[in-house]
Structure 1
Amino acid sequence: MFLNQYDVIVVGAGHAGCEAAAAAANMGCSTLLVTMNLQNIAQMSCNPAMGGIAKGQIVREIDALGGYSGIVSDRTAIQFKMLNKSKGPAMWSPRVQSDRMKFAEEWRNMLEATPNLDFYQEMVSGILSENGKIVGVRTSLGIEIKGKTVVLTNGTFLNGLIHIGDKQFGGGRAGESASFGITEDLAKLGFESGRMKTGTPPRVDGRSLDFSKMEEQPGDVKPEKFSYSNVTSPLTTQRSCWMSYTSLQVHDILREGFDRSPMFNGRIQSIGPRYCPSIEDKINRFADKERHQLFVEPEGWTTCEYYINGFSTSLPEDVQFKALRSVAGFENVKFFRPGYAIEYDYFPPTQLQHTLETKLIDGLYFAGQINGTTGYEEAASQGLMAGINAALKVQEKAPFVLKRDEAYIGVLIDDLITKGTEEPYRMFTSRAEYRTLLRQDNADFRLTPKGYEIGLAKEDRLRRMEEKLSKSEAMVTFFRETSLKPEEANPILEAKGSSLMSQPDKMFKVFSRPQLDLEDFIKFKKVATYIEENHLDQEIVEQAEIQVKYSGYIEKEKSHADKLTRLEDVIIPENFNFDKIQSISIEAKQKLNKIRPRTIAQASRISGVSPSDVSVLLIYMGR
């Protein structure tokens, strides 16, 4: 039925579990993916979309390392948008609307085509450990499956409780039962747990909507794609999203149900996501706002089901229905199902190492919402890193950890391990102090060599990245070495409102002017000829443009990162006794003993550890 012992057992087949299983199996480990329902692999439990602000960068990073999320997103996209194009490239964030059913189908097809990967459908009700080391899992049928490492990716299923108004019932997702037993096992082993909340909006019948009363939100005219590989192509046709708004009337109707809302009557005690609040939370917290945006998102190419982004709620279903019918375009709306809130167990991530291995049990890894995060992309990136590190541990190789100046994934995990979280953690570009370095366009430059080195990214990916890097660098060199005469440049400069040239100057200097963009570059005959003769695609030209226009910012940030990296290199001994240091605060000692930072840099990011505490630690480390 099973192997005598698996190298890696992954529990849960959401976004984290799928990436973990794919990574471990592709790195050559015998891997078992256990889930309560094999029909719901990679289910999009909430909105049918991947990417967005900072999240799109994460998907590109997963792809650059050799994960599957970017490829699946491209193959099942129904719309593509590059967000924040009016801002600098550090803020550009790719996002796709996905076909929900095709997304799950494509994930399953890719996993079933992955060697070394077995599947099993049943609830895992406990973990097996001996002398502080993981040895496997136990299922609800009492079957014990042996494993050298175990990755828990339980999402919202651990003791999940669904709320709709004054009704509540057990469940990990609409129509699916909760998972029991794991929390209790971990608590006996000394793990600290907590409760979090998330929610989802109603799904409605698009045939009952009047789109003429809404604002159309089409995709990009020239859509791009997530994956750096050549196995996917940009969209040729797209489906539009739509936008409508709530009103004071809608808000008044919603308030009628507040006394029956689990958010306000005390039934829900746990904390929900700050940056994706329920509609009742929004009208309560922002009482001065007369309206809120609602994004009406199609669930696929052919289905009539729509997701009402911005209307997440746990109010009674009759209140949801009455309020939504007062929104423009929704006067005759029919529900597929109401929105709901769900409470679930999580484990504060300060109990983990940077590899996502637990500090208490050797060989046990946590990834995804079990660590207090929210979002498909955040979960998938943790699953990827946990799967990689579980495989490396089995292979007795060095662990794989990304630094804050190397990837958004590094920022995410460092934030979780170092600072913990008391509310569902969501990634934003503002969380990354090196976001000019961590752009979505250069994730392959940053991470594909690392993915190749650990045995995950394949050689064709590396060669493709090297060719792109070589061609973009050659184009930057061309700009540095080629001059423009005033008579060539001034007509374009004048049209763009930029000061005119009085003497020849290098293209690099001219193109660094903020008024000029990529479309202006290729108006110059020398540039157009260079692109044509060297067969350069849009991706390479855009990369060269960024290197020219933002070279000063990039170099400055690299310099800053290099300085802080010195503190990353100051290692704190594993069993260092912080209590013996007399000159640091009691709070610092408590936090340092709890989190056990690996480096001085990590210690400096812990809340409650002051700069003077860091100075004392440096002295103790011989610096």
Structure 2
Amino acid sequence: MFDKEYDVIVVGAGHAGSEAAASAANLGCSTLLITMNLQNIAQMSCNPAMGGIAKGQIVREIDALGGYSGIVSDRTAIQFKMLNKSKGPAMWSPRVQSDRMRFAEEWRLLLEQTPNLDFYQEMVSGLLVENGEIKGVRTSLGLEVKAKTVVLTNGTFLNGLIHIGEKQFGGGRAGEKAATGITEQLINFGFDAGRMKTGTPPRVDGRSLEYSKMIEQPGDDNPEKFSYTDLTTPLTKQRSCHMTYTSLEVHDLLREGFDRSPMFNGRIKSIGPRYCPSIEDKINRFADKERHQLFVEPEGWNTVEVYVNGFSTSLPEDVQFKALKSVVGFENVKFFRPGYAIEYDYFPPTQLTHTLETKLISGLFFAGQINGTTGYEEAASQGLMAGINAALKVKEKESFILKRSEAYIGVLIDDLITKGTEEPYRMFTSRAEYRTLLRQDNADFRLTPKSHEIGLASDDRMRRMEEKEKKASAFVQFFKDTSVSPEEANPILEEKKTSPINQSGKMFKLFSRPQITLDDIRHFKKVARYIEENNLDKEVLEQTEIQVKYSGYIEKEKNNADKLNRLEDVKIPKNFDYTKLKSLSFEAREKMSKIKPATVSQASRISGVSPSDISVLLVYMGR
């Protein structure tokens, strides 16, 4: 049945698996995507949304690298919001509310149109391994499929266990069975495994809600989009979300079920996502709070199904129902299905290299929740990188690794493999030390050239990026070269309550003032004429404004990144023996022997490794 050897097999077709399959196939590798249900490709198992704080930056990066998540998000969006617009541009984060059914459909159609990609529906129950090298996979029907590399993206399916109150049953998500066999085999190969937990709220019938009692949450007046390509367009109509609150009465009703909650009676022993706690966890941990926000999110353009964001729970269904009926606007609520918690196996990611290849088995890659992350965007970015690196390994080309100063994706992967995680890892802007450089608006400048170099980003993407970069740089230079007189400038400066100028000066300095916006600067005839003559679009104008206003911060961060990147250039031999460095602390020797950092810079980020340990290492490497 499978008489050929594939270059890459991807196991699992969630967000990680879909991006992995697309990137490997688009790099020219024969690729097979195996999943337990082809109807659920890129299923949004939890909330129907993409992006958000730091996550929006990741989607932009995936798009800039040639992945599909941004395109699919744009094509299936029902609402767009740029979050944190009141803060500096390093914090701006795009987010879309998605049509759940259309999202999965669009992903499937895009994958079906991708050359070099085959599909097969069945459970993978084991791996074929010889002498520490991957050789393929074995399915539950006993089929053996040969491959040069394998990418595991099993999500929450590995020995998945669903909890609703006192009830528990095996499953990868509601209505789907768990995957078995792989964990046990990997443990036999010497891998460490652990358990994690995540949860989801009830889904309800929107026809049973009273929206007039809630606060409407519309999208942006001038919505943007994720993708830098012309394959998508901004929304012209949008659906609103709504907001309501829990109350002390709701909290009391929920507490009545705590003794039946698997979280509190000890049946769930694994750790859940710290920054997306269940409603019972919130009212237990923040007992002084009288209410918590609930976001009422439509699941699509036409469906009546609604996602109750903020009410994630594993309490018994009768307790969930009774408590939710006491929320304002939910008095007559009808359930589509109750919320539940799910426990699943993961593998501590310190067992991987920067390419997401496992250290123990050559050619085997892990991506997504199997690495202890939470979130579609975190999973998709790992899938993209694992797919790229599996393809490059097959082609015997140099690995593709992003530094912390180059991408949020670089921060994510470095955090995972260097520090590991014992709770579901979620990306935040605060995790990135170079967030002024890693903005959502410049992801294409940062990453498209790198992706084009390996053959993933198309010539058209590269040309568009270069054109935009050229126009933005020229416009910045225009402000540096062009003078403005007090007569022209002062009326605007006085209106904006900022000090007037006494003599002519460069526009760059004027535009740098926080009170002066691009709309103000456009009042100058020279500027308006330049914009019109050069046909500058919204993206170029925004890019120019950021580069002018934040030039000092950007320059400072670039210098810091350059200093630290020098340590990235100091490589550590692959099987370096740390025991011979007697001056290292015992903890540093132990941690570095286990994690095997590739560079001195990576070694410096391992918890327990001190600056003096790094000095010892640098002296030795210098010799």
- Which ranges of structure 1 fall in alignment gaps of 5 or more residues? none
Q: Could you say which residue in structure 1 is the equivalent of 2:516?
A: 516
Once the two structures are overlaid, the 10-residue window that deviates more, 490-499 or 412-421, is 490-499
Q: Could you say which residue in structure 2 is the equivalent of 1:262?
A: 262
Does 2:98 align with 1:98? yes
Residues in 2 aligned to 1:443 and 1:563: alpha-carbon distance in whole angstroms: 22
Q: CA deviation at 1:529?
A: 1.5
Does 2:599 align with 1:599? yes
- TM-score (normalised: structure 1): 1.00
- Give SS of 1:557's match: helix
Residues in 2 aligned to 1:491 and 1:249: alpha-carbon distance in whole angstroms: 57
Once the two structures are overlaid, the 10-residue window that deviates more, 92-101 or 521-530, is 521-530
Does 2:339 align with 1:339? yes
Q: Could you say which residue in structure 2 is the equivalent of 1:283?
A: 283
- Give SS of 2:173's match: coil
Q: Could you say which residue in structure 2 is the equivalent of 1:419?
A: 419
Q: Could you say which residue in structure 1 is the equivalent of 2:184?
A: 184
Matches within 5 A, 1:362-377: 362-377=362-377
- Give SS of 1:341's match: strand
Residues in 2 aligned to 1:126 and 1:480: alpha-carbon distance in whole angstroms: 62
- Give SS of 1:415's match: helix
Q: Could you say which residue in structure 2 is the equivalent of 1:494?
A: 494
Aligned amino acid, residue 282 of structure 2 = K
Q: Could you say which residue in structure 2 is the equivalent of 1:568?
A: 568
Q: Could you say which residue in structure 2 is the equivalent of 1:153?
A: 153
Residues in 2 aligned to 1:354 and 1:305: alpha-carbon distance in whole angstroms: 40
What are the superposed Cα offsets for residues 491-546 of structure 1, whole Å, 9 maximum, x if unpaired? 22112221111111111000000111222222322212211111110110010000
Residues in 1 aligned to 2:59 and 2:526: alpha-carbon distance in whole angstroms: 36
Residues in 2 aligned to 1:336 and 1:532: alpha-carbon distance in whole angstroms: 53
Q: Could you say which residue in structure 2 is the equivalent of 1:381?
A: 381
Matches within 5 A, 1:4-403: 4-403=4-403
Aligned amino acid, residue 330 of structure 2 = F
Q: CA deviation at 1:152?
A: 0.0
Residues in 2 aligned to 1:392 and 1:549: alpha-carbon distance in whole angstroms: 40
Sequence identity (%) = 82
Aligned amino acid, residue 399 of structure 1 = S
Residues in 1 aligned to 2:90 and 2:249: alpha-carbon distance in whole angstroms: 40
Q: CA deviation at 1:421?
A: 0.2
Q: CA deviation at 1:374?
A: 0.1
- Give SS of 1:56's match: helix
Once the two structures are overlaid, the 10-residue window that deviates more, 399-408 or 484-493, is 484-493
Aligned amino acid, residue 131 of structure 2 = N
Q: CA deviation at 1:585?
A: 1.0
Residues in 2 aligned to 1:394 and 1:57: alpha-carbon distance in whole angstroms: 30
Q: Could you say which residue in structure 1 is the equivalent of 2:432?
A: 432
Residues in 2 aligned to 1:407 and 1:497: alpha-carbon distance in whole angstroms: 38
Give the aligned length.
623
Q: Could you say which residue in structure 1 is the equivalent of 2:461?
A: 461
Residues in 2 aligned to 1:351 and 1:128: alpha-carbon distance in whole angstroms: 19
Please provide the CA RMSD for this pair.
Answer: 0.6
Q: CA deviation at 1:3?
A: 4.5
What are the superposed Cα offsets for residues 401-439 of structure 1, whole Å, 9 maximum, x if unpaired? 000000000000000000000000000000000000000
Q: Could you say which residue in structure 2 is the equivalent of 1:484?
A: 484
Q: Could you say which residue in structure 1 is the equivalent of 2:547?
A: 547
Residues in 1 aligned to 2:148 and 2:514: alpha-carbon distance in whole angstroms: 55
Residues in 2 aligned to 1:254 and 1:578: alpha-carbon distance in whole angstroms: 53
Residues in 1 aligned to 2:329 and 2:518: alpha-carbon distance in whole angstroms: 39
Residues in 2 aligned to 1:589 and 1:9: alpha-carbon distance in whole angstroms: 36
- Give SS of 2:434's match: coil
Q: CA deviation at 1:482?
A: 0.7
Does 2:611 align with 1:611? yes
Aligned amino acid, residue 428 of structure 1 = F
- Which ranges of structure 2 fall in alignment gaps of 5 or more residues? none
- Give SS of 1:296's match: strand
Aligned amino acid, residue 459 of structure 2 = E
Q: Could you say which residue in structure 2 is the equivalent of 1:475?
A: 475
Once the two structures are overlaid, the 10-residue window that deviates more, 494-503 or 537-546, is 494-503
- Give SS of 2:96's match: strand
Q: CA deviation at 1:489?
A: 1.5
- Give SS of 1:244's match: strand
What are the superposed Cα offsets for residues 536-557 of structure 1, whole Å, 9 maximum, x if unpaired? 1011001000000000000000
